[in-house]
A and B are shown apart, each in its own frame.
Chain A
């Protein structure tokens, strides 16, 4: 193995090790641990988005739909039928795949911002439906996950935040491994070909529609899984947050684009920057100014894309390259 290869395995392994150890010194009910949980969750969500948004540059602004479908499916099944979220999660994943399939038929042939706008609209449709289908979702007042502390792991509920933390860490590692597997496969190369030159991809025999569809389904299914985990962590949510444009959809895209789209460590970097920043902003400004974060995300997204479309990871890389050159000189 070359030094670079050793480093590329050792570095993420160290990060994961640090993440395993980190909470041991923290208050298991505490605020810091909750922030770390959100960081891992959003990193995983970004990674799921990265499969199609990053590799193929299909900028979806509607991934909240899959997230919300996952959260509502397991929560409703648990609340109404006592079905364990461990099973409900798969129902949510299946429904999200169905939604992705239906959405893909008209949208996957769209290019660039038309695709982004269509997915944005689809996410909004999901939000409106969840708000108005009161008999199923409870409507705008939101829905609670029934508290069953006695049921233990079967209910996916815990006394402290710590088990949630390790669940999120596991999910983050899992989704990252899926992304890495895709990225380094022939399938991943086809996705990159679509991003870099769709016409060229078509004429060399890539079935661009099918490749995009498969990536979208995979991305949707993973996002729905994370929706269930989020529901079990929060215990309460409403349509406007779970299907939110700013709270979920744009945040997923922003985390990836800020960190580095199409790159394994893009969402890691993005989530490590965005989530703490957001918490700080919230504690200073308070949640009082509704819509401000929405506005801030929009502005941030535009600024990031304009300033450095390759993301923060490219800054690290150019720094590394410069160091290397200096070493050689």
Chain B
């Protein structure tokens, strides 16, 4: 019984994934898994292939070989919009908002999967609860917001999907330390509300303090895997990423 339970608890499973943009693959046989309700971080140097991995999951790469299963369903042949429909919200690297739409329009765009207005309104209220700032600025054009606010819009828009899995790609890139701290508190809130989180983060210390488990990527492969607490005390990581 125990085995079956833990098996169904795997939300996302990736096996021997090889993927890239052209002839030369960027990812070389990646295997990882994310359990339901888990908070997993992926860390690694620039160009390690972290964003490429996330793009492969959400269907933004033209071709990938290997296995990507979400709730047991194979994602490798699905298109991005179908994958979003399964309940995977990807907040891509760089602030991908719709600049000439208002904050509220941006958020409502994220709620396509909801059939009725009531559900959209509820989702909107939840996002406003999470980011009160967005409620204040709901009528402002997203393109005229600060970097941190735009990132809130992007995350909030992802949450409008009411996802099972929230994928965050370097959400704190280029933001002031105060804002970064604040943002991570929200990610913990989101996680606590029952959403599974897969986070790519440059700030290794922050990532390992937010996440429960983490993978370290280098040159398109997983190098180290472990609980966040173990990794925080792992000498290799302390030397390479934490500068201790």
Among residues of B, the one whose C-beta sits closest to the C-beta of A197 is: B96
| Pairwise interchain contact A192-B98, C-beta atoms closer than 8 A | yes
With A and B bound together, what is the CA distance between A203 and B51 in angstroms? 14
A204:B84 contact, CB within 8 angstroms = yes
Q: Are A204 and B157 in contact (CB under 8 A)?
A: yes
In chain A, what residue has the closest Cβ to B143? A196
Among A200, A202, A204, chain B packs the most CB atoms within 10 A around the CB of: A204
A-facing residues in B54-98 (Cβ within 8 Å): 58-60, 79-81, 84-85, 89-92, 96-98
Query: For the complex, is B222 an interface residue (Cβ under 8 Å from A)?
Result: no
Contact of B92 among A203, A207, A208 (CB under 8 A): A203
Which residues does chain B contribute within 8 Å of A204, judged by CB atoms?
A: 84, 89, 109-110, 112, 157-158, 160-161
Q: Please name the residue on chain A nearest to B80 by beta carbon.
A: A202
Q: Say if the beta carbon of B13 comes within 8 Å of chain A.
A: no
Range for the number of chain B residues in contact with chain A = 20 to 34
CB <8 Å contact, B101 and A200: no
A contacts with B, residue count (CB < 8 A): 17
Cα A189 to Cα B106 in complex, Å, equals: 10
Kindly list chain A residues whose C-beta atoms are within 8 Å of the C-beta of B91. Answer: 203
Cβ-closest chain B residue relative to A194: B98
- Given the known inter-chain contacts A203-B90, A206-B112, please indicate yes or no for A196 contacting B80, CB distance below 8 A: no
- A205 contacts B84, C-beta separation under 8 Å: yes
- A199 part of interface (Cβ distance < 8 Å): yes
Residue contact A207 to B161, C-beta cutoff 8 Å: no
Q: How far is the CA of A197 from the CA of B84 in the complex (A)?
A: 16
User: What separation, in Å, do the CA atoms of A199 and B109 have in the docked complex?
Assistant: 13
B112 surroundings in chain A (CB, below 8 A): 186, 204-206
The reply to whether the CB of A193 lies closer than 8 angstroms to some CB of chain B is yes
What residues of A have a CB within 8 angstroms of the CB of B158 in the complex? Answer: 203-204
Given A197-B96, A199-B60, A205:B81 Cβ within 8 A: yes
Q: How far is the CA of A226 from the CA of B112 in the complex (A)?
A: 34
Q: In the complex, A204 Cα to B85 Cα: how many Å?
A: 8
Q: Give the docked Cα–Cα distance between A189 and B91 (Å).
A: 19
Nearest CB of chain A from residue B161's CB, rounded to whole Å:
7
Are A203 and B109 in contact (CB-based, < 8 A)?
no
B105 an interface residue at 8 Å Cβ cutoff?
yes
CA distance A192 to B142 in the complex (A): 14
CB-based contact B81/A193 at 8 Å: no
Q: Is the CB of A196 within 8 A of B99?
A: yes
Report A213 CB to chain B, min CB distance, Å: 13
Q: CB within 8 A of B101: which of A192, A199, A209?
A: A192
Instruction: Give me the interface of A with B, judged by CB distance under 8 Å.
Output: 186, 189, 192-193, 196-197, 199-209
